[in-house]
A and B are shown apart, each in its own frame.
Chain A
C-alpha cells in the first residue's frame, strides 16, 4: 500500500521490547498481587512474540514450538500463583504486596 515499505522482523522485535518494558514497569509499580501476575503475563507474551518473529525471520518452525513450552510454563505459574494468593488471602484478608512482610503464618 505504501509502495516498497514492508514490515521486517525488527518491527516485531521493537514492539515486543516495548511490551516487555511495559510489563516490567507494571510489575514494579503495582501493589495488587493479581495485577502483578497480569504484568508477568504481558512479559511472557512479549517473549512469545519474539520467538515467533525469529521463527519467521529464520524460517524455522522450532521457534513456534518453543512458544508452546512458554505457554505451558505460564499456565502452571498462574495455577500455582493463584493458589498461593488464595491461601494468603484466607489468612490475611488482603491481597497486596505490602501485606506480605513476614513469612510466618
Chain B
C-alpha cells in the first residue's frame, strides 16, 4: 500500500512540477503548482508528518497559490508568453546547469550522510511517552526552537510592512501622518 502510494504520488509530483515549468499560461502553472503541493502533502503523510501535511495544504495550496492567482488576475498577465529566445543559448545552458545540480544532489543522496547524531533530549517521531504528532512537534518547537520561533514573528512583521509599502500607489499619499509622531 505504502509502496504503491509512494510511486503514484511521486510520479504525480514530478509530472505536475514539469507542468509548472512547461505550461505556457501562468494560470495553468499555478494550478499545476497546486497539484504538486497536494502530492507532496500526501508524501508527507506517508512519512508520519501529519501536521506538516495539513499545514502544507492550508498554507501553501490555500493561501500562497491563491495569492499567486490573485496577482495573475490583478495584473492581467494570463497571456501565453512568446517562445522566442531573447538570450542566445539560454535554454541549453539552463538545462545543462539543471542536469549538473541534479547529478550533484543525486550523488549526495546515494552516499552515506555524515549525520546520525541526535540532540540529547530529542523527541522522536514514534515511541517515547509523547502523544500525537502535533504534541511532538509542538514540544520541540516551543522548547528547543523557541528563539527562532520568535525571530519568525519579526520576519513576518517586516514582510507585511514591506509589502504594504511596496504595493502602495506611489503617486497618491494617504492621509498625512502628523509630523510630531516621530516619523520624519
Footprint of B on A, CB under 8 Å?
1-2, 5-7, 10-26, 28-32, 34-35, 37-39, 41-42, 45, 48-49, 52-56, 58-62, 64-65, 67-69, 71-80, 82-87, 89-90, 95-96, 98
Contact = CB atoms under 8 A, between A and B. Distances in A.
Nearest to B9: A15
Interface residues of B, number: 88
A85 B68 CA distance: 11
B147 to A, nearest CB: 12
B137 to A, nearest CB: 5
Contact of A11 (B6, B13, B20, B33): B6
Closest 8 CB pairs of A and B: A25-B98, A21-B102, A28-B94, A26-B21, A76-B159, A83-B163, A17-B105, A83-B166
Contacts, number: 241
Interface of B: 1-4, 6, 10, 13-14, 17-18, 20-21, 26, 29-30, 33, 36-37, 40, 43-44, 46-49, 51-52, 55-56, 59-60, 63-64, 67-68, 71-72, 74-75, 77, 81, 86, 90-91, 93-95, 97-99, 101-102, 105-106, 109-110, 115-116, 118-119, 122-127, 133, 136-137, 139-141, 144-145, 148, 152, 155-156, 158-160, 162-164, 166-167, 169-170
